[in-house]
Structure 1
Amino acid sequence: MVPLLEDSFGRRITYLRISVTDRCDFRCVYCMSEHMSFLPKRDLLTLEELDRVASAFVERGVNKLRITGGEPLVRRNVMSLFRALSRHLQTGALTELTVTTNGSQLARHAAELADCGVRRVNVSLDTLDPETFRTITRWGDLDRVMVGIEAARAAGLQVKINMVALRDANAHEIEPMLRWCHAEGHDLTLIETMPLGEIEADRTDQYLPLSAVRAKLAERYTLTDLTDRTGGPARYVRVEETGGRLGFITPLTHNFCESCNRVRLTCTGTLFLCLGQDHAVDLRAPLRQSEADEALHRAIDEGMAIKPRGHDFVIERRNARPAVARHMSVTGG
C-alpha cells in the first residue's frame, strides 16, 4: 500500500491536471505567441505512459483527473486515453474525469466523451462576437465552437464556460456572456489573465481585476455567495435574477493557494507543483526506469516535499516580465 498524497503544509492532493499536448489550433493572445515552437512528438509521453502515471496518482488518493492541453482533443488517438482512464470511474476510485477544451473538436468527440464517463466539460470561450473571437484566438472559428457546445449538450454533458476577462477586448461582453450562459443552462467562470510566458501583448493592458467586475455586476444583479466547490480554485455566487451560477478565479486579486489540492503533469512527464512557480520533478525517467512503479512513487513523493505554499503573481508595468517563462499551454492552466 502507498500512502495518500499530502504536501509539507498538510494539504491533501486529490486533483491532477494532465496536459496531453502543448499544441493548439488557436493562438489566443493572452496564452501564447502567434508563432509558437512546439515540442517534437518524440519528447511526449505516450498515451499508455500518461495512463500509467495517472493511475499511480489515483492509487495515491487522487479522485479527480482533468485532461488539458494546449488543446487536448487535437492529440492523435486521445480518446484511447479517456477510455483507459474510465476504468477508475467504474471502480469508484475516481469521482470525476473531465476535460478543458477550446471547443473546436467537441462536435467530433462529445458523444464518445460521454460514453467514457465524462459528465462535464469546460469550454474556453471569451466572446460571443465572431470578429472579437477571431481577434482574441487569431485562428479560431466561433461557429465551429458553438456547434461543439451544442453537440456536448446533446450528448448529455454539462458545459461550463471559462471566460478570461480582458480589459479592452471583452470587458463589455461579460454581462451578455453571463445572460447567454445562464439562459443556455451553462455555468460561467471568469478568470483573471495570468503572467505566464512571453507574448506579444502587454499584460498590463490586458489585465482586468475581477474585484472590479464583481462590483460592477453587483450594481445590477443580486450575487449570493455559495459554498460550492468543484475541486478547483473558483469561488461561486448565484445570480438571483438569472438563477445561474457564476465563478471567479482570481489568482491576482485574491490568492487561492491556502486550499490548493492540485498538481499538474505536462505531456513530457514533468510534474509541476504550482501553476505560478517553477518547482517541478521529472516523472518520465523513473517511469521508464522499470515496469514497476516504485521509482515513480518516490519521485511523486519528492514532488510533495517541494510543493510551495503558493504563487506570487504580479502584473504591473515596472515588472512586465512573466512570473514564469513557460506558457499556459505547457501546463494546461
Structure 2
Amino acid sequence: MAALPSSPAPLIDRFNRRISYLRLSVTDRCDLRCTYCIPQGFKDFEEPEHWLTFDEIERVVGLFGQLGVARIRLTGGEPLLRKNLPDLAARLAALPGIEDLSLSTNATQLDRHAKALRKAGVGRLNISLDSLRRECVTHLSGRDSLASVMAGLDAAQAAGFSPIKLNMVVMKGENEQDIEPMAAFCFERGFLLRLIEAMPMGDTGRNAHYLSLDPIRERLAKRFNLQPQAIELGGGPARYWSTPDGRGQIGFITPISQHFCATCNRVRLSVDGTLYLCLGQEEKLELRPMLRGGASDEELIAALRDAIELKPERHEFLEQPKKIVRFMSMTGG
C-alpha cells in the first residue's frame, strides 16, 4: 500500500482522547458458547462473503498505523477459527507504525497454532478462562474444554509468549469461589490474571449475573497482600495490583462499577468491516462498502476522522442496560 504524501495527524476525538488501539475481529464464529457471549443455538453469523479479506484488513490496518494507531489486537469470536490467521498476523506485524500485535483467544485451538503465531509476530496473548473446575468450565462455555485450554497454555509458554494474560469474567453464583484458586494458579505459572466485570451486551450479557469487583479486590488484597501498581500492560483498561515481590499481578477491569471511558483509547472493527466507536453505544462506520467501492486512501482516512468525531463520551450500561442488543461476538471482543 502506498504511503500518503505526508504523515497524517493522529486520531484525536472531541474529548481529547488519542485513539491508539484497534481491536480487530477476524471472525464472529466460535467453537464455544460462553453464557455471557453467544447464546446456545445461535446461528445468525455473518456470511463469509461479507468478511473483510486479508488484503482489505491489511489496507485498513495500514491506514490506522499511519494515523498513530500502534496497537492491534486480533479478536473474534474465536480468531483461531479464521483460516491462515498466522499469515495475516505476519502481514500486519510488518506494517509501518504497528508496534504491538496481540491476540485474544479461548485457547482451545492454541496448541496447534502457538509456534506459528509467535513466528508471525504476535507478541502477547489474552486467554479466556473463567474457572479451573472442569464442571464449571463446561457449564459456562457449553463444552468440556478445560483440557484443551490447558494444552494451549502449555504451548503458549513453550513458544515464548510473555506476558500471557488470563481473562476471567466474574459472575455472581457461578465462579465467585474460583477466584482465589485462579489467582494462586496464575502466580505459580507466571500468568497475569485479569478479573472482568460482566457487561450487559445482548440477552446473554444481561443474564450474566453481574458482580462488582470492588469487594473482590479488597478480599484479594488481604489474602495475597496486594499493593496497587502504577503500571500499564498492553494499553488496556485494567488497574493492576501486585504481590510484594512483584511476581504475582492481578488486573481489575471494571466497566460497570468504575468505568474508564475518560481514558478510552480504542475502537473495534468487526469481521464485516463495521467500525464501532464504543462497545456500549451504536455509533459506527461501515467500511466494507467503501473498500469495495473504489475509495482512495485519502477518502478512507477522511471517513475514519469523521467517525472518530462520533465517538461518544461514555457508555450507558448502567442507565440503559437494554440498549445494546448485539452480542459481544458480533462487535469483536
Asked if these proteins are the same fold (TM beyond 0.5), I'd say yes
Equivalences for 1:1-333 in 2 at 5 Å? 1=6, 2-36=8-42, 37-88=44-95, 91=96, 93-158=97-162, 159-199=164-204, 202-203=207-208, 206-229=209-232, 230-240=234-244, 243-290=247-294, 292-314=296-318, 322-333=322-333
Q: Deviation per CA, 1:36-72, whole angstroms, max 9, x where unpaired?
A: 1211111111122111111110011111000000000
Contact 1:224 1:239 in 2 (8 A): yes
Cα distance in 2, alignment partners of residues 182 and 245 from structure 1: 7
Cα distance in 2, alignment partners of residues 312 and 215 from structure 1: 26
CA gap of 1:283–1:201, structure 2 versus 1, over 3 A, is: closer
Cα distance in 2, alignment partners of residues 130 and 242 from structure 1: 30
Q: Percent identity?
A: 43
Q: Which amino acid is the alignment partner of residue 224 of structure 1?
A: Q
Question: 1:219 is paired with a residue of what secondary structure?
Answer: helix
Instruction: Tell me by how many angstroms 1:201 deviates.
Output: 7.2
Contact 1:224 1:237 in 2 (8 A): yes
Contact 2:271 2:332 in 1 (8 A): no
Instruction: Tell me by how many angstroms 1:328 deviates.
Output: 0.7
Cα distance in 1, alignment partners of residues 265 and 81 from structure 2: 28
Count of residue pairs brought into register by the alignment: 324
What TM-score do you get using the length of structure 1 for normalisation? 0.93
Runs of 4+ in 1 over 3 A off after TM superposition: none
Q: Which amino acid is the alignment partner of residue 325 of structure 2?
A: A
Q: Deviation per CA, 1:210-232, whole angstroms, max 9, x where unpaired?
A: 00211222332222111111211
Cα distance in 2, alignment partners of residues 240 and 171 from structure 1: 24
Contact 1:114 1:156 in 2 (8 A): yes
Q: Structure 2: where are the runs of 5+ without partners?
A: 1-5
Instruction: Tell me by how many angstroms 1:20 deviates.
Output: 0.7
Instruction: Tell me by how many angstroms 1:140 deviates.
Output: 4.3
Q: Deviation per CA, 1:126-180, whole angstroms, max 9, x where unpaired?
A: 0111111100000241101100110010000121100000111110000000000
Q: CA RMSD in A?
A: 1.6
Q: Which amino acid is the alignment partner of residue 108 of structure 2?
A: S
Cα distance in 2, alignment partners of residues 153 and 200 from structure 1: 31
Cα distance in 2, alignment partners of residues 271 and 202 from structure 1: 26
Instruction: Tell me by how many angstroms 1:326 deviates.
Output: 0.9
Contact 2:37 2:205 in 1 (8 A): no
Q: Which moved more, 1:170-179 or 1:48-57?
A: 48-57
Question: 2:203 is paired with a residue of what secondary structure?
Answer: coil
Cα distance in 1, alignment partners of residues 114 and 295 from structure 2: 34
Instruction: Tell me by how many angstroms 1:240 deviates.
Output: 2.7
Cα distance in 2, alignment partners of residues 299 and 198 from structure 1: 32
Q: Which amino acid is the alignment partner of residue 294 of structure 2?
A: S
Contact 1:197 1:322 in 2 (8 A): yes
